[in-house]
Amino acid sequence: MGKIRMLIVEPASVVAEGLVALLLRSGEVEVVASYSSLDELSQTPNVDVAILSTALSRQVEGCAQLQGIPLIGMQSSITEPDALKLFGSLLTIYSSDEEVIRAVREAVETPLEHNYAESHDLSDRERDVLVLVAKGYTNKEIASELFISPHTVISHRKNIVHKTGIRSVAGLTVYAVLNKLIDSESL
């Protein structure tokens, strides 16, 4: 596979320029375009994946040019949890270089799935697993804490990703905090 073709839409120029530099430094990504708003996007770009500010989520829903393109959210402000479902994964300004590149790779490698909204409610056990994921527990530690097998933990994690549409630990942590499943002070 050649370089991953990337679009960035981020109103904060410092964040956008930092993302461009980080992605180019990886050697795996070609940044095709970087815009400060969706208004600048006049046609469907020929890209493999896009990183967009989660602050633009309301505009993203109605943006035909982004249909069929895997989306990664860049969260730098509080965003309603329902709006986060638009993104396959979430990044923050605290995400490491490795987390950013991993999210880009996963977005390209993982086929787009159905509308997450139809099965969005988490079971009690999935919430328990999500809280422990947000606290940084490994699958083995979660299994020990909840008295279940590591395979069951993996199954719950797959269900959580399927229902929320969020793949990264950072994104799931933000989701848990915004949905009051965990207090940010306990992280």
Kindly state whether residues 145 and 174 are assigned to the same domain.
yes
Kindly state whether residues 159 and 68 are assigned to the same domain.
no
**pLDDT band, residue 78 (cuts 50/70/90):** confident
pTM of the model: 0.60
User: CA-to-CA distance for 12 and 176, rounded, in angstroms?
Assistant: 25
Q: Which residue range forms the structural domain that includes residue 145?
A: 118-186
pLDDT of residue 129: 95
Kindly state whether residues 109 and 31 are assigned to the same domain.
yes
Kindly state whether residues 18 and 61 are assigned to the same domain.
yes
* pLDDT, tens digit (0-9, with 9 covering 90-100), for 36-62: 998 888 777 889 999 999 888 878 876
Kindly state whether residues 177 and 109 are assigned to the same domain.
no
123: tokens are: 């079971």
| Encoded amino acid at 98, one letter | E
The count of structural domains within the chain is 2
Kindly state whether residues 147 and 128 are assigned to the same domain.
yes
11: tokens are: 């109103």
Tell me the CA distances in angstroms from 123 to 126, 127, 140, 156, 157, one per residue in order: 5, 6, 20, 9, 12
**pLDDT band, residue 74 (cuts 50/70/90):** very high
Kindly state whether residues 54 and 83 are assigned to the same domain.
yes
